Each structure stands twice: as C-alpha cells, then as structure tokens.
Amino acid sequence: MANTARAAIKALQPELIAIRRDILANPEMGMEEVLTSRLVADTLRGLRLEVAGGDGGR
C-alpha cells in the first residue's frame, strides 16, 4: 500500500512543481488570490475531488 501511494505521489510531482512555479510567477495580494484559488480548484477538480464554493472555493 505504501509503495502504491509513493508511486501515485511521484507521478503527480511534475504537475505539482508546475503549479508551484505558476503560483510563484504570478503573485497575488493576501485575501485576493483569485488566480491561485482558481488554479487550485481546477487542479482538485481534475483529480475528481469536490471543491466547495465558487471558482476557487470562496
């Protein structure tokens, strides 16, 4: 089971790195993270996870 989880995490690593780089390349003011919220929400939906709220869960 642990090896399966490690493999799944390893498979997501390139996408997670790209997300981190995108967030750092497009900084937003605190409490005004519209693009960041949208990016995270879209990513979670892509993983078939439920996102509460509007675009980014706000």
pLDDT tens by residue, 7-56 = 988 999 999 999 999 999 999 998 888 999 999 999 999 989 999 876 65
Q: What is the pLDDT of residue 57?
A: 47
The model carries a pTM of 0.70
DSSP string covering 1-58: -HHHHHHHHHHHHHHHHHHHHHHHHS---TT--HHHHHHHHHHHHHTT----SSTT--
Domain boundaries, the chain: 2-46
- Cβ-contact 39, 22 below 8 angstroms: yes
Q: What are phi and psi of 27, to 5 degrees?
A: -65, 145
Q: Give Cα 9 to chain centroid, integer Å.
A: 13
